[in-house]
């Protein structure tokens, strides 16, 4: 088994890795206790230690389909950089392939690692007395298949020529291990025909793995399209003429934050009516790849959406009922109410074997807020990297946006940017020059895209 990430390749440890594994275990004696060298050697021989250049994970598969984690250690210099996440992900992936149903571990009550396991989707089931201190017992049921991290789907409104320049600029940056455009979503009604031609060509030569077609209901919501019926006519024709896409978002009627409860209820009913009617007249390939939007302000409303889509046999749903702010409600906000609603959506969707997508999640900080609530969608899309860069702003992993085009404070100086790069352990081709960030829209956009990918790959 081999799982690659930006900085690590997770493999099974071999005999030559034993000195490193033993040394790292000894360095963590307070956390995990004394670990005998012979025990580690036997585990390596039985392929029960997953290894990366900066950490290891020791586990054992039991005959009752439970896999137990014995030790997880990461070099202090590489903590909070995604190493632990990659090791847990590799353990989970291998366990699934072996038919394991439950992951299990114990962690001393006083360790911060308990927070990490919670973020990885584990549930605390008990506290047991240990030899020297109490132990928290954590379980994770693999049947639900809750993801450890989300797949980023790049969302944009751009012409084919604009996208061509961005694709070329990313390749020029040299980060060929990652492809931020592997998964994309765009609205054909909001983009020129050149966008469709470019994406179709890039997908044909395998520069893109997956292209989703957004329905464009947002355009009607924002008043950029006058009539909903015109949208339905356009989608009916476009979806039937474009079989090459990998996802087709069904048309919805988008509620606004300013709508009354009565108007929201009306829009939910209209969404369900139009989605079902549109779905039923689509060819099989659209039905098989349909992405159904979940709208609503109450649990009853989102539950009705999910029940309808489950009966239709739809396998992927998308949630976008976040509160909004900004001009024309164009900025999504994650309120406590919307987070609670999204948890309900995730729980019901998982029970029905559905994949969960987040529409318009906002920036990396919004995703981190989802992670802190253990709400991790299978996929998410965002235009923040694009919009922020266009308006002169940049962001770093786990940091707020900075308006870089004007020197306002220390953060916007060369020294300030270098401090941020050091503090966030971020460095990319596009932020090497502060002057380029100030003057080049495309460099800001691509830097933001790199920061988004860093956020998805790292621990909180």
Q: First-to-last CA distance in the chain?
A: 26
> Do 313 and 270 fall within a single domain?
yes
Give the domain-ending residue among 141, 173, 202.
141
Identify whether residues 175 and 109 lie together within a single domain: no
Q: Does 116 reside within a domain?
A: yes
Instruction: Residue 331: give its domain's CATH number.
Output: 3.20.20.105
Q: Are the C-beta atoms of 342 and 306 separated by less than 8 Å?
A: no
Q: How far is CA 429 from the centre of its chain?
A: 23
Q: Using CB atoms within 10 Å of the CB of residue 290, give its burial: 0 to 12 exposed, 13 to 18 middle, 19+ buried.
A: buried
CA distance 333 to 363: 10
Burial 322-332 (b: 16+ CB within 10 A, else e): bbbeeeebebb
Do 264 and 409 belong together in one domain? yes
Q: For residue 3, is it within any domain?
A: no
Residue 138, Cα to own-chain centre: how many angstroms? Answer: 24
The answer to the question of residue 438 being in a domain is: yes
Cα-based torsion angle of the residue sequence 435, 437, 440, 445 in order, rounded to the nearest 10 degrees: 170
Q: Report pLDDT for 356.
A: 95
Domain contains 198: yes
| Final residue before a domain boundary, out of 119, 141, 163 | 141
In a domain, 413, yes or no: yes
β-bridge pairing 102-108 and 331-333 = unpaired
**CA dist 224 to 117, 216, 217, 221, 233, Å?**
45, 10, 10, 8, 16
Q: Has residue 2 been placed in a domain?
A: no
Same domain, 35 and 99: yes
Structural domain contains residue 6: no
Question: Whole-model pTM?
Answer: 0.70
- Of 98, 119, 141, which closes a domain? 141
Q: Is residue 241 part of a domain?
A: yes
Domain that holds residue 33: 11-141
pLDDT of residue 2: 47
Whole-angstrom distance, CA of residue 353 vs CA of residue 143: 10
Looking at residue 40, its pLDDT comes to 95
Are 232 and 135 found together in one domain?
no
The pLDDT tens digits along the chain (460 residues) read 544 333 458 899 999 999 999 999 999 988 898 999 999 999 999 999 999 989 999 999 998 889 999 999 999 888 888 888 889 989 998 998 888 889 999 999 999 899 888 878 888 889 999 888 999 999 998 865 567 788 999 999 999 999 999 999 999 999 988 999 999 999 999 999 999 999 999 999 999 999 999 999 877 766 555 567 889 999 999 999 999 999 999 999 988 888 999 999 999 999 999 999 999 999 989 998 999 999 999 999 999 999 999 888 888 999 988 765 444 444 445 778 889 999 999 988 887 778 899 999 888 889 999 998 989 999 999 999 999 999 999 999 988 899 999 888 888 899 999 999 999 999 999 999 999 999 999 999 999 999 999 999 887 6
CB atoms within 10 A of CB 425: 13
Q: Token pair for residue 34?
A: 């004394």
171 and 66, same structural domain?
A: no
Domain count, the chain: 2
The CATH number of the domain holding residue 121 is 3.40.630.30
Same domain for 180 and 298? yes
125 and 207 within one domain: no
- Residues 238, 345, single domain; the answer is yes
Q: Which of 190, 189, 186 is nearest to 198 (CA)?
A: 186
Q: What is the pLDDT of residue 207?
A: 95
Mark whether 120 and 263 lie in a shared domain. no
Same domain for 15 and 60?
A: yes
Interstrand relation of 49-52 and 9-12 (parallel, antiparallel or unpaired) = antiparallel
- Contacting residues for 129 by C-beta, under 8 A, at least 6 apart: 135
Claim to verify: residue 133 and residue 162 sit in the same structural domain? no
């Amino acid at each position: 088994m081999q799982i690659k990430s930006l900085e690590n390749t997770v493999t099974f440890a071999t005999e030559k890795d034993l000195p490193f594994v033993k040394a790292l275990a000894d360095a963590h004696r307070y956390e995990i206790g004394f670990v005998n060298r012979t025990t580690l050697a036997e585990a390596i021989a039985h392929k029960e230690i997953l290894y990366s250049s900066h950490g290891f994970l020791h586990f054992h598969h039991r005959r009752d389909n439970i896999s137990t984690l014995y030790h997880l250690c990461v070099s202090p210099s590489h903590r909070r950089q995604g190493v632990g996440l990659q090791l847990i992900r590799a353990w989970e992936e291998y366990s699934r392939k072996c038919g394991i149903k439950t992951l299990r571990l114990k962690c001393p009550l006083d360790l911060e690692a308990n927070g990490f396991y919670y973020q990885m989707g584990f549930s605390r089931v008990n506290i047991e007395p240990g030899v020297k201190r109490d132990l928290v017992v954590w379980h994770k049921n693999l049947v639900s298949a809750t993801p450890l991290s989300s797949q980023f789907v790049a969302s944009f409104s751009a012409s084919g020529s604009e996208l061509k320049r961005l694709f070329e600029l990313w390749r020029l940056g040299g980060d060929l291990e990652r492809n931020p455009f592997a998964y994309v979503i765009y609205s054909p009604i909001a983009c020129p025909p050149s966008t469709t031609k470019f994406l179709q060509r890039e997908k044909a030569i395998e520069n893109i793995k997956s292209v989703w077609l957004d329905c464009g209901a947002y355009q009607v919501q924002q008043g950029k399209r006058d009539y909903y019926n015109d949208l339905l006519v356009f989608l009916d024709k476009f979806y039937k003429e474009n079989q090459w896409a990998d996802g087709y978002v069904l048309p919805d009627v988008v509620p606004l934050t300013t709508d009354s409860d009565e108007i929201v209820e009306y829009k939910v009913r209209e969404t369900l009516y139009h989605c079902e009617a549109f779905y039923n007249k689509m060819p099989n390939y659209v039905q098989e790849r349909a992405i159904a939007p979940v709208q609503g302000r109450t649990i009853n409303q989102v539950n009705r959406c999910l029940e309808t889509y489950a009966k239709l046999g739809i396998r992927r749903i998308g949630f976008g009922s976040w509160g909004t702010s900004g001009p024309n409600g164009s900025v999504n906000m994650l309120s406590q109410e919307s987070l609670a609603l999204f948890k309900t959506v995730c729980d019901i969707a998982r029970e029905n074997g559905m994949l969960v997508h987040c529409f318009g999640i906002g920036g990396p900080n919004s995703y981190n807020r989802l992670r802190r609530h253990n709400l991790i969608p299978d996929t998410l899309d965002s235009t923040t990297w694009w919009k922020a860069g266009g308006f002169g702003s940049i962001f770093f992993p786990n940091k707020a946006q900075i308006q870089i085009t004007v020197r306002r404070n220390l953060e916007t100086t060369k020294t300030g940017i270098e401090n941020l790069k050091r503090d966030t352990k971020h460095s990319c081709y596009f932020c090497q020059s502060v002057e380029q960030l100030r003057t080049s829209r495309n460099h800001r956009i691509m830097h933001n895209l790199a920061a988004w990918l860093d956020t998805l790959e790292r621990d909180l």
